[in-house]
Amino acid sequence: MATIYQQDQLVEHGNHWIVPLQGKTVTRCLVDHAFGMELWEREGTTTIRIEGDFVVKGHGGEHQLSPACPTALGPALSTLGKAVTLARAYKDGCLTVHFADGSILSVKPDAAYEAWEIAGTGGLRVVCTPGGSLSIWQPKRADDRL
């Protein structure tokens, strides 16, 4: 049975949740009808899938991006190899991911579709549903299963 550590859990802070991505590195970017980032670790892979419009702000300026225009997603590929310092899932449906070089990726909710989702280790899952509500599945702690 896999051990679920406390650091795999979302932590609630007022108007947002801290997503446990700190220190994890983007090891792969994926493009289909969404923009995806994989954060691979030996202990498990976390995926961030963005289906809505999003913004990448960094040293190269601010880029308004959309998975609906995949040929324009170049600036989003700059996240490859970067370590996450902080990720917040706001209760209004916004997601912000801060990287070690100071760049920030942010996504706003979408009225009609899921704007983003995160699938982490141990069953952690966060989905920004149409309209901006969050659906959250926390990993089960080991002591929950005794």
Partner 1 sequence: MGQASFTSCPGATGSADMMRIMDPTPQYPQGYVRHYNNRGQPLDPSGKPGDRASTHIPLDYEGPISGWPQYISKISL
- How deeply is 44 buried, as exposed, middle or buried, from its count of CB atoms within 10 A (0-12, 13-18, 19+)? middle
Of 60, 74, 81, 130, which one interacts with partner 1 (CB under 8 A)? 130
Q: Restricting to residues 34-53, name those near partner 1 by CB under 8 A.
A: 34, 36, 38, 44-47, 49, 51
Q: Which is nearer to partner 1, 44 or 58 (CB)?
A: 44
Task: State the nearest-atom distance from the C-beta of 30 to partner 1, in Å.
Answer: 8
Other C-beta atoms lying within 10 Å of the C-beta of residue 51: 21
Of 23, 32, 43, 64, which one interacts with partner 1 (CB under 8 A)? 32
> Applying CB under 8 A, does 134 fall inside the site for partner 1?
yes
> Applying CB under 8 A, does 113 fall inside the site for partner 1?
yes
Listed in sequence order, the residues at least 6 apart from 69 whose beta carbon sits closer than 8 Å to its beta carbon are none
Confirm if 58 and 43 have CB atoms less than 8 A apart.
no
> Applying CB under 8 A, does 59 fall inside the site for partner 1?
no
**Distance, CA of 18 to CA of 7 (rounded, Å):** 10
Q: Which is nearer to partner 1, 64 or 102 (CB)?
A: 64
Integer-rounded Cα radius of gyration of the chain: 15
Chain centroid, CA 27 distance in Å: 13
Alpha helices per DSSP H over the chain: none
Of the ranges 21-29, 53-61, 74-82, 108-116, which one interacts with partner 1 (CB under 8 A)?
108-116
Binding site for partner 1 (CB under 8 A): 32-34, 36, 38, 44-47, 49, 51, 68, 111-114, 117, 119, 125, 127, 129-131, 133-137
